[in-house]
Structure 1
Amino acid sequence: MASKAGEGGGGGTKGDAPVPHGHAPSQRVSSLSRDSDNGNNSPSSRSSTSSWSEEPVTSNMDISTGHMVLSYMEDHLQNKDRLEQEWIALCAYEAEPCATTLALQPENATKNRYPDCVPYDHNRVVLTAHANVNGSDFMNASSITDHDPRNPAYIATQGPLDSTAADFWQMVWEQGSVVIVMLTRLTENGHAFCYRYWPEEGSELYHIYEVHLVSEHIWCDDYLVRSFYLKNVRTGETRTVTQFHFLSWPDSGIPASTKALLEFRRKVNKSYRGRSCPIIVHCSDGIGRTGTYCLIDMVLNRMAKGAKEIDIAATCEHIRDQRPNMVKSKVQFEFVLMAVAEEVHAILKALPQ
Structure 2
Amino acid sequence: MLQSPYITYPIDLDSGGNWVAEIIIEGNSATFGTSSLQFVAKDTGGASATASVSLTTRKITLDDTESRIGSTVKVNGVGFPATNVLSPNSFRVNLTYGSNNLKSVTPDTDGEFEVTFLVPTAALIPSTNTVTAKTVGTTSTVTVDHSVPAASTSVAPAAGPSGTTVTVTGTNFRAFRTITDVTIGVLTILGSSETTDADGGFTITGVLPVLPPGVKVVSSTVGGVKSFSSFNVLEPDVPPTPTPAPTPTPAPSISPSIGLATLISDENLVRVWHFDPSDQDTPPSFAWALHDPRPIFALANTVTRLTTGKFYWMSVKENRTVTLNGKERVLFAGWNPVSW
TM-score by length of 2: 0.15
- When Rg is computed on C-alpha atoms for both structures, the one with the higher figure is 2
Q: Which has the higher helix share?
A: 1
